[in-house]
């Protein structure tokens, strides 16, 4: 009998998906912990803060008031209206409630767009480094991911000129995040205006602007490409509550776009999940309409951690790192150490460096490979300053040992 785990029982589309390179690391980190080793995890992509009390209260109230029914597929009108207000107020994007669809996380919003708009063989231009899910969703839809590798000297942000050279008649979508996971870079008004000017010449192409880290930024300026009137109809703005409001588990995200895009996403979502959790939508409403003080307080904590981490990383020889202006990641380049030998084995890849760091320093970080940055590791600072200091101390020791060995 064919066992249930046999790949022969899986649909072909699943074979297109890459296996998570971090999975083995997570298993190993857990095993080390079980053996009593104090593993510090700097691999997480979620805030370590709890959700603010007024948001939790709104959810409790929503339960007590009997919000136990399906909501409209696109989300409640009150939440979509509050989102439209937010976009107008904070982002200068002029859309109405009917241009918004609320989803079970920004991840579902992205999945809806890609499944609704990408045909097999279509190209999707992804600014690289990128959040790995973009790439996998495009493959799931049968599309072809085309990576636009941003120049290192420009904080790895892809440029309008690169885009102009890469757009083919098969291109359907362009995807970027700003602030970027994993680099922490933010696209400026000037950069996005140039990009918009390129895309405006290609009306068959849409931009997906993932703004989920918008509130976690350490500079006052923030620019949304959809605020440019001449490109607005070609932009799909994705955002959500997971990061800025520390609400990962509540699963609420959304997108704002031209009506026809929202209708297409509505069709996909209507068959896959229907509207997101009714309680969570009430919580999200409270997040948008209540005090923003917790968002700003978290931002300041992240800023402090970023500063600490940058300082400590500069203390480790031969790591080069850009100072991120948003999100909660750093992407140091570890090229210097690639190919060096440890115990007879070469550290051939960033993945090998991550495994070595886990064994040697009991620190878990993520390899840059699946993010389009194969000479980098991604360090998350969504953890306490105490953890960061201890982890960086251990990393420094591990890398110093490696340098010494190299000199032997």
Enumerate binding residues for ligand PMP (CB under 6 A). 45, 105-107, 131, 177, 181, 210, 212, 240, 242, 248, 253
Complex with ligand PMP: residue 45 or 290, whichever CB lies closer: 45
Query: Residue 14: is it exposed, middle or buried by C-beta count within 10 angstroms (0-12/13-18/19+)?
Result: exposed
Helix (H) and strand (E) counts in the chain: 13, 14
Position of minimal CB gap to ligand PMP: 105
Burial state string for 234-243 with b = 16 or more CB within 10 A and e = fewer than 16: bbbbbbbbbb
The minimum distance between CB 327 and ligand PMP, in angstroms, equals 8
Residue 333 DSSP one-character state:
B
Residue 8, CA distances (Å) to 17, 34, 389 in order: 15, 34, 47
**Assigned token pair, 394:** 């251990």
Q: Is 97 helix (H, G, I), strand (E, B) or coil?
A: helix
Complex with ligand PMP: residue 212 or 309, whichever CB lies closer: 212
Radius of gyration of the chain from Cα atoms?
22
The minimum distance between CB 210 and ligand PMP, in angstroms, equals 5
The minimum distance between CB 303 and ligand PMP, in angstroms, equals 19
CB-based contact 368:182 (threshold 8 Å):
yes
CB-based contact 210:176 (threshold 8 Å):
yes
Complex with ligand PMP: residue 114 or 361, whichever CB lies closer: 114
The minimum distance between CB 103 and ligand PMP, in angstroms, equals 8
CB-based contact 308:389 (threshold 8 Å):
yes
**Assigned token pair, 167:** 């757009």
Q: How many CA atoms lie within 13 A of 282 on its CB side?
A: 19
Q: How many CA atoms lie within 13 A of 168 on its CB side?
A: 10
Q: Beta strand pairing status for 345-346 and 341-342?
A: antiparallel
The minimum distance between CB 329 and ligand PMP, in angstroms, equals 9
Complex with ligand PMP: residue 128 or 402, whichever CB lies closer: 128
Complex with ligand PMP: residue 223 or 245, whichever CB lies closer: 245
The minimum distance between CB 347 and ligand PMP, in angstroms, equals 27
Complex with ligand PMP: residue 61 or 248, whichever CB lies closer: 248
Complex with ligand PMP: residue 80 or 362, whichever CB lies closer: 80
Q: Which residues pair with 245 in a beta bridge?
A: none
The minimum distance between CB 249 and ligand PMP, in angstroms, equals 9
């Amino acid at each position: 009998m064919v066992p249930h785990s046999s790949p022969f029982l899986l649909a072909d589309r699943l074979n297109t998906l890459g296996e998570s390179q971090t999975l083995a690391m997570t298993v190993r980190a857990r095993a080390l912990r079980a053996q009593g080793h104090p593993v510090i995890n700097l691999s997480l992509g979620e805030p370590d803060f709890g959700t603010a009390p007024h948001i939790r209260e709104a959810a409790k109230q929503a339960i007590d008031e009997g919000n136990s029914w399906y909501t409209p597929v696109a989300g409640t009108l009150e939440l979509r209206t509050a989102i439209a207000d937010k976009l107008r107020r904070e982002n200068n994007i002029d859309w109405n409630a009917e241009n918004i669809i609320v989803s079970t996380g920004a991840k579902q919003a992205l999945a809806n767009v890609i499944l609704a708009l990408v045909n097999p063989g279509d190209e999707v231009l992804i600014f690289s480094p990128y959040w790995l899910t973009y790439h996998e969703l495009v493959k799931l839809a049968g599309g072809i991911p085309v990576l636009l590798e941003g120049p290192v000297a420009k904080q790895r942000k892809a440029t309008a000129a690169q885009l102009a050279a890469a757009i083919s008649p098969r291109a359907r979508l362009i995807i970027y995040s700003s602030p970027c996971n994993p680099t922490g870079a933010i696209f400026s008004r000037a950069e996005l205006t140039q990009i918009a000017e390129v895309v405006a010449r290609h009306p068959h192409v849409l931009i997906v602007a993932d703004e989920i880290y918008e509130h976690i930024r350490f500079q006052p300026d923030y620019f949304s490409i959809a605020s440019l009137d001449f490109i607005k109809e070609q932009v799909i703005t994705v955002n959500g509550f997971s990061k800025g409001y520390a609400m990962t588990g509540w699963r609420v995200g959304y997108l704002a776009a031209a009506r026809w895009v929202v209708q297409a996403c509505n069709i996909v979502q209507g068959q896959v999940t229907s509207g997101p959790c009714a309680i969570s939508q009430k919580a999200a409403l409270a997040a948008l309409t209540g005090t923003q003080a917790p968002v700003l307080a978290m931002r300041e904590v992240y800023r402090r951690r970023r500063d600490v981490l940058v300082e400590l990383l500069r203390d480790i020889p031969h790591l080069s790192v850009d100072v991120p202006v948003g999100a909660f990641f750093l992407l140091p380049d570890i090229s210097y150490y690639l190919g060096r030998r440890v115990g007879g084995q070469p550290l051939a890849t960033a993945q090998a460096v991550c495994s070595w760091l886990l064994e040697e320093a009991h620190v878990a970080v993520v390899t840059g490979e699946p993010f389009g940055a194969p000479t980098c590791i991604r360090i998350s600072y969504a953890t306490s300053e105490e953890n960061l200091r201890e982890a960086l101390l251990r990393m420094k020791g591990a890398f110093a040992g490696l340098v010494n060995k190299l000199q032997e």
